Chains A and B, each alone.
Chain A
Amino acid sequence: MAKTIDEINEKIKQGKAVVVTAEEIIDIAREKGAKKAAEEVDVVTTGTFGPMCSSGAYFNIGHAKPKIKLGGGRAYLNDVPAYTGLAAVDLFIGANALPDDDPRNKLYPGEFNYGGGHVIEELVAGKDIRLEATAYGTDCYPRKKLETWINIKDLNEAVLFNIRNAYQNYNVAANTSDKTIYTYMGVLRANLGNINYSTSGQLSPLLNDPYYKTIGIGTRIFLGGGIGFVAWQGTQHNPNVPRTNKGVPRGGAGSLAVIGDLKQMSPRWLVGTSMLGYGCTLTVGIGVPIPILSEEILGYTTVTDAEIFASVTDYSDAYPTMKPETLGEVSYAELKSGRVKLKGKEIPTASLSSYSRAVEIAQTLKKWIKDGKFLLTQPVAPLPGVEAGIKFKPLKERPIE
Chain B
Amino acid sequence: MAVAKRIVLHFPKRVVDRAIVCRLAKDYDLEFNILKALVTPEEEGLLVLELSGEQGEYDKGIRYLTETGVKIQSLSQDVLRNEERCTHCGACITICPSGAFELDPITRRVAFYNEKCVACGLCIKACPPRAMEVHF
Q: Which residues of A contact B (CB under 8 A)?
A: 49-51, 109, 111, 113, 179-180, 186-187, 189, 193-196, 271-276, 283, 336, 338, 348-357, 359
- Assuming A193-B94, A351-B89, A351-B90, is B108 touching A113 (CB within 8 A)? no
Query: Which residues from chain B contact A348 at a C-beta distance below 8 Å?
Result: 93-94
Cβ of B59 to closest chain A Cβ, rounded Å: 37
Find out whether the CB atom of B128 lies under 8 angstroms from the CB atom of A283.
Answer: yes
Find out whether the CB atom of A283 lies under 8 angstroms from the CB atom of B126.
Answer: no
- B88 interface contact, C-beta 8 A: yes
Q: Which 10 A-B pairs have the closest CB atoms?
A: A194-B94, A355-B108, A350-B94, A354-B89, A356-B108, A351-B90, A273-B128, A354-B87, A350-B93, A348-B94
Find out whether the CB atom of A271 lies under 8 angstroms from the CB atom of B87.
Answer: yes
- B34 interface contact, C-beta 8 A: no
Contact string, B100-119, partner A, CB cutoff 8 A, digits 1/0?
00010101110000000000
- B121 interface contact, C-beta 8 A: no
Find out whether the CB atom of A196 lies under 8 angstroms from the CB atom of B87.
Answer: no
For A274, give its contact among B88, B89, B94, B128 (CB under 8 Å): B128
- Assuming A193-B94, A271-B129, A276-B125, is B108 touching A359 (CB within 8 A)? yes
- B91 interface contact, C-beta 8 A: yes
CA distance A196 to B126 in the complex (A): 13
Q: Which residues of B contact A (CB under 8 A)?
A: 41, 85, 87-95, 103, 105, 107-109, 125-126, 128-130
Query: Which residues from chain B contact A186 at a C-beta distance below 8 Å?
Result: 91, 126, 128
Find out whether the CB atom of A276 lies under 8 angstroms from the CB atom of B126.
Answer: yes
Find out whether the CB atom of A51 lies under 8 angstroms from the CB atom of B128.
Answer: yes
8 A–B contacts from the bound complex (CB under 8 Å): A186-B91, A336-B108, A338-B105, A350-B91, A350-B93, A350-B95, A354-B87, A356-B88
For B125, give its contact among A51, A111, A180 (CB under 8 Å): A111
Find out whether the CB atom of B94 lies under 8 angstroms from the CB atom of A189.
Answer: yes
- Assuming A356-B88, A356-B108, is B128 touching A349 (CB within 8 A)? no
Query: Which residues from chain B contact A180 at a C-beta distance below 8 Å?
Result: 41
CA distance A82 to B129 in the complex (A): 22
- Assuming A111-B125, A274-B130, A275-B128, is B107 touching A356 (CB within 8 A)? yes
Query: Which residues from chain B contact A271 at a C-beta distance below 8 Å?
Result: 85, 87, 129
Chain B: CB-nearest residue to A49: B87
Chain A: CB-nearest residue to B123: A187
Cβ of B133 to closest chain A Cβ, rounded Å: 13
CA distance A179 to B108 in the complex (A): 30
Find out whether the CB atom of A352 lies under 8 angstroms from the CB atom of B41.
Answer: no
Query: Which residues from chain B contact A50 at a C-beta distance below 8 Å?
Result: 89
Cβ of B34 to closest chain A Cβ, rounded Å: 22
Find out whether the CB atom of A352 lies under 8 angstroms from the CB atom of B128.
Answer: yes
- Assuming A111-B125, A187-B126, A274-B130, is B94 touching A349 (CB within 8 A)? yes
Chain A: CB-nearest residue to B125: A276
CA distance A193 to B93 in the complex (A): 12
Find out whether the CB atom of A338 lies under 8 angstroms from the CB atom of B103.
Answer: yes
- Assuming A187-B126, A273-B129, A274-B128, is B94 touching A357 (CB within 8 A)? no
Find out whether the CB atom of A354 lies under 8 angstroms from the CB atom of B41.
Answer: no
Cβ of B102 to closest chain A Cβ, rounded Å: 9
Cβ of B43 to closest chain A Cβ, rounded Å: 11
Chain A: CB-nearest residue to B103: A338
CA distance A187 to B130 in the complex (A): 14
